Structure 1
Amino acid sequence: MGCVDARHVALLRDLLASTPWVERAEDLARGLRRTRSPGGLMLLGTPDDEPWHLAAHLDDEARYADLPQLSPSLVRWEPPPGAPAHLRIGLERLEDARRGHTLFVVNEAPEAPVPLLERVDDARRSGATVLSLDQGDPELTSIAHEAVSLSPSGDPVTFEGMQHLVSSAAGQAEDRRRGGLRDRLSRLLDLVSGPRPAD
């Protein structure tokens, strides 16, 4: 997580402290951390909107927190054949979903496309845990084991802001809470900013 992102998350947590959104993000993050092994977390968006930004943040959190199971496989609808291996993961990856795997679905559109819902339902039937972050899509929410649904307007947190909250919370240890995350954000800022000059 970059210096600006870490400060953004700390500020966002402060602004949302009196709302349920921080706790909702932490609940979703706990679901991500329950992924049993590296390679078991699959991240899926829609054909028109792939969650690159969230994938990068989760990958950073996996490294910083030494939780390799948080590094996601970004599942793409039509990966180009010449792309690097980690960007060539297609929908066939979902066919291997099983118990101990986690499918994290990110859908900013008001309604998920039917092919996405079908793929997600198949993964759930195969034993994968399904988590979703969406804009109030009742069908996607009904398939997910754990979901955070924002309304397109009226919530004090944006869709992008919630992605930041979830990814940063995923990297914190299970026994750390608000103070622990603040300490961790401070350490991340120190890492990004480099050593401080001597007084």
Structure 2
Amino acid sequence: MDAASVNLLREVLASTGWLERTRDLGLALRTTRSPGGLLVVGTPDDEPWHMTAHLADEARLSGLAQLSPTLVRWQPPPDAPTHLRVGLDRIRGAGRGETLFVVAESRAPVPLLERVDDARRTGATILALDGGDPELESLAHDAVVIPQEGAALSFDGAQHLVSAAAGEITRRPGLRERLARLADRVTGPRVSD
């Protein structure tokens, strides 16, 4: 999806609340302190290559090195390039200043939930973009849930909005905007017919 398509998607979703939620999650990705400290993981059947590629592009284009993602893989081939050989053990080493971003349209398996819990206990920030996984969401500091049916936003579209928001140069929201976003979090995104 190119920038024009992302802008069109933003216009379509402007009154739904989805734009604010994905923007908040994108901005939360920036709290990672150093390059390589943004760990992106999915499920064994769906590794988040797409999101990882977009975050790498945003890191390069925005000059925000902390957005340079590390793709964490379930079974990386030993002969893969170094940056594609990062396995689940990397999550065990996650700590303060690092972010574990779980991108999972389907439910996270127990081994992933255990590692996410370990990373949270050692001080890593846990973020999630998921399709409705209460166990994962209970471990996340912030999560955006994209229901598999009936949502105005697709899971793929949400990935584009989150990654684009992560790389945006934005001004700090005022008190009114922060309170409005907080109210939306408590009540959930508004859904238009």
Q: State the TM bucket, normalised to the shorter chain.
A: 0.7 to 0.9
User: Which stretches of structure 1, 4 residues or more, deviate above 2 A after TM superposition?
Assistant: none
The one-letter amino acid of 1:115's match is P
Q: Displacement, 1:174?
A: 3.7
Structure 1 length normalisation: TM-score?
Answer: 0.85
The one-letter amino acid of 1:21's match is W
Q: In structure 1, the residue corresponding to 2:129 is in which secondary structure?
A: strand
Supply the distance in 2 between the matched residues of 1:48 and 1:155 (Cα, whole angstroms): 23
What are structure 2's unaligned runs of at least 5 residues? Answer: 174-193
Aligned runs of 1:17-166 on 2, under 5 Å? Answer: 17-109=14-106, 111-166=107-162
The one-letter amino acid of 2:54's match is H
Q: Percent identity?
A: 64
The one-letter amino acid of 2:70's match is S
Q: In structure 2, the residue corresponding to 1:99 is in which secondary structure?
A: coil
In the other structure, the counterpart of 1:168 is 164
Task: Let me know the Cα RMSD of the aligned residues.
Answer: 1.1
Supply the distance in 2 between the matched residues of 1:176 and 1:98 (Cα, whole angstroms): 27
Q: Displacement, 1:8?
A: 1.5
What are structure 1's unaligned runs of at least 5 residues? Answer: 178-199
Q: In structure 1, the residue corresponding to 2:2 is in which secondary structure?
A: helix
Supply the distance in 1 between the matched residues of 2:17 and 2:140 (Cα, whole angstroms): 20
Supply the distance in 1 between the matched residues of 2:169 and 2:67 (Cα, whole angstroms): 12
Structure 2 length normalisation: TM-score?
Answer: 0.87
